[in-house]
Structure 1
């Protein structure tokens, strides 16, 4: 039987010359770094950043809508029957629980001025952790966001449970974000016309948010497209993309999510050049040295034309550093305050900005 002697990695690198060896070793180390950065999302936080929200003292509402039971089906009938919805409820004694409810109840809100916010989590998030992460985002919103009236906060949960072999996981889940974006767009389409909705996507969740907005504007993701009603005015959307894990050019006109910006009043994009998942994004996509949107935002704003006025960049590099953890982004209080304020700030007439707008276009 032929036996193969497996040499140590550094010995094998020595056989190919110093420059090539250094390049290969750098690539291997970079892959380790990006994997460790993305893996941070799999750990369940042992302690919340803030206190458990007491909903009995206000009229806020928190819901979770899950597509995990329907998988990646793009059949509207199956979605209607298979979407699972739970409401976070509490009482005066501080006890809280998740109570099952019908997702259709969300389509009618008795409080006219309530702000509706969707949060779409990233990859490698198991059931249970979607609830914990969503509550942390809600707490950040309540600490730093200034909304007109109460908030209806909805966590969108999709099939992102970790599977073995991380690189296989990342690439597989990247393909899953296409049908999940269609599902999300379908749900958004069920809301009454002119409904004001704010969408927050983290990491792979930014793919889902951007893909849904692109579809709602008449775009396609592969063969997927929406049957958009032509006789109704569309809902009004704002979006915040945190550590967006997709190509920086995809949001530009004519590209993968090129119609998304046409669908929004304002889009806030975080950037962090030190985030390992953003810095070494090109190693996981297998398509060469392509930067992630969450690394430095949209570098060619001029390509957006007048739509560039709708974009705000917020730089987290100094406050988050070498981390891709959602909790580290949320802990950057100063930057999250800008995110939430920009998300809820009244829109000025096109071409005009207040002092806060001008100061935060590239914060």
Structure 2
């Protein structure tokens, strides 16, 4: 065989074959470009109905990478799919509106700005560093307050009684003593009133870290620079969220566990006797657990089961959700009764969260985005009045990290949480306006929050 002939064989290819080959290459390149644009581009997120928490355009570095994304499990039942023909799920929500109460929220945040955004970031980093290095026994607790841990980490069956949970109370010197369910549920006998606050941690949180995050929240939010005047019973709710092998398997298993342990939390909540609203803060998968518990308390079914032989809950809940890892239309699809026990709903979502952004690409919940990424979808169909719902986009305050400490150490977020979740929190005069105040339409541009 003539080698030179074989080398020159390309010269004999017809011109249309070359053209066809080039066309195919351009088509592949164009297809790849479309795919990259789809992944990198904005999701079909529903716009927030309340002002986003936004810092100026110049934002400090997001810092170190956060743990793996917290996303619900695959293989949800058919009822978990987006409802066909649901106008609220398919169409954009109405333009953002602000009531006089929202304006009061904004006034709380119009505080003197630091010299620069970088200075504000340095302050947050300093607070985070101090909180992370402080020994657990050195966190102070006021004499009028109580700090508890209630753990369902060792409980398997969803039908377990509240007596099977582990109760511990913090006493002098940072020591923990075992208590009983009856001791926790006994009526408050101290001076004035007492409010109970639950914190439910997120995924990949061992017991020691859960306690640390709880004490940090108590230190920053309850005490802070302007301590809440009401006596507080602060409860760290712990569920089995330690990291397991395999990133995808980890988040799928934890989504199932969050739904399972929602039964334990809901069952305990039905036995709490108080005239004061109980505040519940759920972060990431902890938000999923909290929503599931509220749904059960409202008479709903979860994982094919309801709360058996349990009295109807009379407690009213101020529910705070921080970057919750659950579908954004859950309140109108899979957790339709979650807002029946809720008096106020306070949601912090993050349209820059690099992990929750991946939620809809993982073929979970019919490719529905995460509530913690977009905010509430289908708000017009919720049983809770809009005047009792506050949601804010914290993206330019906390950056793209999925990190609870970023929210905890932000003073603006702390001010919003105090006003919307806790009784006895110091309020500005404007914030005491009537809930039924007329609503004013906002301009198209979002209100930005000064640092």
TM-score by length of 1: 0.79
**Residue 39 of structure 2 corresponds to residue 39 of structure 1:** no
Q: How much does 1:74 deviate?
A: 1.6
Match of 1:110 in 2: 189
Structure 1 residue corresponding to 2:397, chosen from 304, 311, 319: 319
The 5 Å alignment of 1:68-147 reads 68-71=153-156, 73-77=157-161, 79-81=162-164, 83-90=165-172, 95-108=173-186, 109-111=188-190, 113-141=193-221, 142-143=223-224, 147=228
Q: How much does 1:308 deviate?
A: 2.4
Structure 1 residue corresponding to 2:415, chosen from 323, 334, 337: 337
- Determine if contact 2:352/2:395 at 8 Å carries over to the other structure: yes
Match of 1:218 in 2: 299
Q: How much does 1:307 deviate?
A: 2.5
What are the Cα deviations for residues 290-324 of structure 1, in whole angstroms up to 9, with x where unaligned? Answer: 21111131143222266222210122111101111
- Determine if contact 2:69/2:356 at 8 Å carries over to the other structure: no
Mapped partners of 1:267, 1:188: distance in 2: 17
Match of 1:278 in 2: 356
Structure 1 residue corresponding to 2:272, chosen from 170, 177, 191: 191
Mapped partners of 1:224, 1:288: distance in 2: 22
Structure 1 residue matching 2:382: 3-state secondary structure: helix
Match of 1:302 in 2: 380
- Determine if contact 1:144/1:337 at 8 Å carries over to the other structure: no
Q: How much does 1:193 deviate?
A: 6.2
Q: How much does 1:192 deviate?
A: 2.3
RMSD in angstroms over aligned alpha carbons? 3.4
Q: How much does 1:351 deviate?
A: 2.9
Change in CA separation of 1:169 and 1:353 when aligned onto 2, cut-off 3 Å: farther
What are the Cα deviations for residues 87-119 of structure 1, in whole angstroms up to 9, with x where unaligned? Answer: 1222xxxx3222222233111122350110011
**Residue 239 of structure 2 corresponds to residue 158 of structure 1:** yes
- Determine if contact 2:266/2:294 at 8 Å carries over to the other structure: yes
Mapped partners of 2:363, 2:448: distance in 1: 27
Change in CA separation of 1:162 and 1:113 when aligned onto 2, cut-off 3 Å: same
Deviation beyond 6 Å, 4+ runs, structure 1: 23-30, 346-349, 360-363
Q: Which moved more, 1:293-302 or 1:209-218?
A: 293-302
Q: How much does 1:23 deviate?
A: 6.5
What are the Cα deviations for residues 207-227 of structure 1, in whole angstroms up to 9, with x where unaligned? Answer: 111111111111111222114
Change in CA separation of 1:306 and 1:187 when aligned onto 2, cut-off 3 Å: closer
Structure 1 alignment gaps of length 5 or more: 1-13, 31-35
Change in CA separation of 1:23 and 1:288 when aligned onto 2, cut-off 3 Å: farther
Match of 1:11 in 2: none
- Which structure ranks higher in relative contact order (CA pairs < 8 Å, sequence separation ≥ 6)? 2
Structure 2 residue matching 1:338: 3-state secondary structure: helix
Change in CA separation of 1:96 and 1:169 when aligned onto 2, cut-off 3 Å: same
**Residue 140 of structure 2 corresponds to residue 54 of structure 1:** yes
Change in CA separation of 1:37 and 1:286 when aligned onto 2, cut-off 3 Å: farther
Change in CA separation of 1:299 and 1:288 when aligned onto 2, cut-off 3 Å: closer
- Determine if contact 1:117/1:151 at 8 Å carries over to the other structure: yes
Match of 1:238 in 2: 318
What are the Cα deviations for residues 164-194 of structure 1, in whole angstroms up to 9, with x where unaligned? Answer: 1111110111111111111110111121265
The 5 Å alignment of 1:344-355 reads 344=422, 351-352=436-437
Q: How much does 1:289 deviate?
A: 3.5
Mapped partners of 1:145, 1:296: distance in 2: 31
**Residue 337 of structure 2 corresponds to residue 259 of structure 1:** yes
TM-score by length of 2: 0.65
- Determine if contact 1:115/1:147 at 8 Å carries over to the other structure: no
Q: How much does 1:17 deviate?
A: 2.8
Structure 2 residue matching 1:337: 3-state secondary structure: helix
Match of 1:64 in 2: 149
